[in-house]
Structure 1
């Protein structure tokens, strides 16, 4: 898909007079699919779409704030193809966990984008990275995991101090 978007931006550049080597490469053997046609049409209507397509393919997926901002911006713009490009790069598995603010908000953005598995993947990474407090701030996890988390990732059964004897 990233190659498809590169071809789209190459075609866009070619049609708008860019003379760089990438735009010339886009002229050879280019077959326009419906998705490419739509992105090219949108790019003609709004040049920022072409920039957004490149951003989805090029954003560093280890930067939680960058992924969060781009995912939210693409969602507001209705840029579903670009969201698919970004999600295909599996940011949940690669994002750094050192920014608690972004990491708390990112699972919700992933879920809203329909990436439920990535939402779960990111949430499951937090406790093993020593960020159980951040894990508890996601969705309803504070209530679901009030008694802790089992090694398999499921919520721990309710217990009292008397149970420890």
Structure 2
């Protein structure tokens, strides 16, 4: 069983409170996800983030084929971090930690994702060709969108 790690950091020139307000609101995920992903929230994003929150999405990452993705917010420490874990969806494992840290002039955002692709050895062969590049592309889009929304650090 191969577990992969994706680790990203980005600094943005806003207060920790503003960063938390934006990043902890599941409705904002659509704003920082490429349009071709067809990302839509089905349910669960109507309250402020809390541990145990279940959020259902539809995503279309490959060939416009809709996939249901269900995540649970498992940990929340306001203005510091939250964790979402996939309960149902395209990955065999998805554990995503979002950290915020106040730094001079803004906030450092850090994403640490541990994921496992489905389909055993076949999934492991597909990861470097399809899955990993797609994740890199999504996070690059997210980085550019956050600069567009909040400015360059």
**TM-score, normalization by structure 1:** 0.23
Which one has a larger percent helix, Structure 1 or Structure 2? 1
Larger radius of gyration: 1
